[in-house]
Structure 1
Amino acid sequence: MVEKNGAIRTLSVDIGGSGVKVLVLDITGKPLTERARRETPQPPKPQAVIDAIVALAGTQGEFHRVSVGFPGVVRSGVTETAANLDPEWIGFDLATTLSKRLNNPVRVINDADMQGLGAIAGKGVELVITLGTGFGSALFVDGKLVPNLEMGHHEFRKGETYEEQLGRATLEKVGEKKWNRRLQKAIASLEHLFNYDYLYIGGGEAVRVHIELPSNVKIIPNITGLLGGIALWKD
């Protein structure tokens, strides 16, 4: 599992509704390769997405273990929801299947959770939201993850969920100005709901946030979703 010099290399994988990304991290979480990306296969069924991951992994050189961020609820490596992929993912053992394809141990976690692991300071109440195809969320208390939050599918305003109001399809429909106003309302709502110490905003559409943010709200780069992969192996 280790190189001659004892260094463990982790392949970090981020599965999204629009793209699949990978890179290799050293034992400290520092990138050792350039990020590689492919469009998420359409339809985004398990076999097609796994084929894309395997192809991308082939561009990254040697690695000894794999961390995967998946856009849905994950329990013990099994994907239980997949709102922005395909129904075939429901009840799919992604960890075991991918481990057999890559011949290395695999751990799988929700993608927003993995992004949060790459962003948080580990003190107090920290909330992470991701703006992309959908609306991801992760909550941490003193660095410990509160699993399976899936806040994006809870009602936000006007009878619609956070994802329905702030997902990519809505952004393209209503435009950035209106979308940013909605995001501002969402931030105020979340602050009252969670009383967080810090809020981190990530995901592919975070670059389109153009509102003045409170001092305890920070935009994080999209690559954070991959950098969090090392935390899955902290034990």
Structure 2
Amino acid sequence: MSVILGIDIGGSGIKGAPVDTTTGRLLKERHRIPTPDGAHPDAVGGVVAELARHFGLGGPIGVTFPGIVQHGRTLSAANVDDAWIGLDADALFTEATGQAVHLINDADAAGLAEARFGAGAGVGGTVLVLTFGTGIGSALIHNGILVPNTELGHLWLRDKEAEGWASDRARERDDLNWKQWSKRVSTYLQHLELLFSPDLFIIGGGVSKKADKWQEHLKLERSRLVPAKLLNEAGIVGAAMMAQGNAGQNDGGNPPATPASGPKPASKAARKK
């Protein structure tokens, strides 16, 4: 058993827990601390250090970040302080905790966890994990290997960014019922189908708890689609997986893994029989 501390930085709270990276299980109850106002790097670093002290677990720490992460640096700053842009956040958190810290984009972390231990477990080929909330997060995984920082919520669709039109926030803003929202999401997913031909879509974020309201309304040409399973634990689990794999070895935050195996998807003609 390999136990790694995973920490998930969110807009309202920063939460963490020790993770058994061989099973994806949290070994202790999550501990949550409110995100400091403004989310300045130094203040967030202090919370990460507090969580590390709370659990008292040695070894590397995995941390998610709500933005682009490359070579340990944060390159965007949506809903957090602009001081994150270009910051060596790995170094900041490593100094704050006194332990080796490795950062990963939050949607990428959730995608890794879902593909290994959640709704994508045992599925070979290409898995595309999408989280619908304030925006649309994305994680593209092929045979267990993550392609980091895809940011597919920012694809342009119908003369606007997809997340501004098809996110859960857009559903609430435009007062859409679930069927109306599902029509927008279907258009978006069909576009992604043309670009990536995924074997499986996994739909996460807050909407995954209400799959019975939208799943039957989503229409795809050839890909399968399922709701996410790990819910609020996905980011913590994925962060721990990435830290175990040592992001510096592969630049993508991928943990050591053998490609997932599974039956090849049936052809479109075969599925119609």
TM-score, reference length from structure 1: 0.85
Identity of aligned residues (%): 37
- CA deviations on 1:176-222 (whole Å, 9 max, x unpaired) are 52434422332232223221001112223433452125682121123
Q: Which residue in 1 is equivalent to 2:93?
A: 98
Q: Which residue in 2 is equivalent to 1:161?
A: 161
The alpha-carbon distance between structure 1 residues 78 and 113, as it changes in their structure 2 partners (threshold 3 A), is same
The alpha-carbon distance between structure 1 residues 51 and 167, as it changes in their structure 2 partners (threshold 3 A), is farther
Structure with the higher fraction of residues in helix conformation: 2
| 2:6 aligned residue (6, 12, 15) | 12
Query: What is the letter of the counterpart of residue 209 of structure 2?
Result: V
How many residues align? The count is 228
Structure of larger gyration radius: 2
Q: Which residue in 2 is equivalent to 1:216?
A: 224
> What is the aligned-residue RMSD (CA, Å)?
2.3
Name which of structure 1's ranges 123-132 and 214-223 shifts more when overlaid on structure 2.
Answer: 214-223
- Contact 2:204–2:227 (8 Å) recurs in 1: yes
Q: Which residue in 2 is equivalent to 1:185?
A: 187
Name which of structure 1's ranges 197-206 and 93-102 shifts more when overlaid on structure 2.
Answer: 197-206
Q: Answer yes or no: is 1:46 the counterpart of 2:47.
A: no
Q: Answer yes or no: is 1:125 the counterpart of 2:133.
A: no
Q: Distance in 1 between matches of 2:240 and 2:17?
A: 11
- CA deviations on 1:120-169 (whole Å, 9 max, x unpaired) are 14620110111233211111122211222111122123x22122123454
Q: Which residue in 1 is equivalent to 2:268?
A: none
Q: Distance in 2 between matches of 1:59 and 1:176?
A: 43
| 1:231 aligned residue (218, 223, 241) | 241
Q: Secondary structure at the match of 1:62?
A: coil
Q: Secondary structure at the match of 1:222?
A: helix
Q: Distance in 2 between matches of 1:231 and 1:113?
A: 11
Q: Secondary structure at the match of 2:104?
A: strand
Name which of structure 1's ranges 138-147 and 168-177 shifts more when overlaid on structure 2.
Answer: 168-177
Q: Distance in 2 between matches of 1:43 and 1:77?
A: 21
Spell out the pairing of 1:145-160 with structure 2 (5 A cutoff). 145-157=146-158, 159-160=159-160
The alpha-carbon distance between structure 1 residues 44 and 180, as it changes in their structure 2 partners (threshold 3 A), is farther
Query: What is the letter of the counterpart of residue 190 of structure 1?
Result: L
The alpha-carbon distance between structure 1 residues 188 and 18, as it changes in their structure 2 partners (threshold 3 A), is farther
Q: Which residue in 2 is equivalent to 1:4?
A: none
Q: Answer yes or no: is 1:71 the counterpart of 2:66.
A: yes
Q: Distance in 2 between matches of 1:172 and 1:18?
A: 19
Shift of 1:36: 2.1
| 2:32 aligned residue (25, 29, 37) | 37
